[in-house]
Amino acid sequence: VGFPSGAGAPQQESHGKPSVPRPMIDPSTSFSYASAFHDGIEILPAPNGKGLGAFLTTNVAQGSILGEYSGEILTRKEVEARYWKTRRESKEDRKWRNSRKRRNQGISGDYLFDVGDDSFIDGEDADCSSWCRFANHAPPNDGTAACNVEVIWRAEEASVDADLKGIVDTHHLYFVALVAIEAGTELCYDYGEEYWDSD
């Protein structure tokens, strides 16, 4: 597993921190929780006030693919209007925002991954995002095993989508074990410098 030639690491982006508390997620209806159960992950309160975290239910070997970071695929224009407020919202953007509010889903922008080509994976909506949204930050190479996951980006072959009437490039972000990890361990990865920039 690795980056395709000429591709850099995906960047998790955040332009400011949320000013309101995070919404509650209903485990009985959330795709995030269903994907966790499927992949052998348990969502539990994390230590040190980090909110919820993703914990292994079985031992895994170094290099194991733990899951795929999934969510809505947004364009740069959508991200600029919906999160960064650098572009005026369209009618579709307002419908999106109202849907999130109605379903008690967050609108912070803290779950965005820039995958290039002006495309982003938005993992904030727990109704359509995988458990990977619950993985917390740990600094890399800090002398502990806290940073035990890396994010690997793969671009799949372009395909023709009849509904969209065109060629669709698909981007995938996989969470991979950096080391052998024991059951009960919280899964954490380095969010990267872009995440912490608040400009």
Per-residue pLDDT of the chain (199 residues; tens, 9 = 90+): 333 333 344 445 444 444 444 455 666 667 888 899 999 999 999 988 888 999 999 999 999 999 999 999 999 999 999 999 999 999 999 999 999 999 989 999 999 988 888 889 999 999 999 999 999 999 887 656 689 999 988 766 555 554 544 444 567 889 999 999 999 999 999 987 777 675 4
| d(C-alpha 146, C-alpha 52), whole Å | 15
Q: Is 106 left (phi over 0), alpha (psi -120 to 50) or beta?
A: beta
Contact between 173 and 151 (Cβ < 8 Å): yes
SS3 13: strand
Instruction: Please indicate, yes or no, whether the overall pTM of this predicted structure exceeds 0.85.
Output: no
Distances (CA, A) of 162 to 30, 120, 157, 168, 171: 28, 22, 16, 10, 18
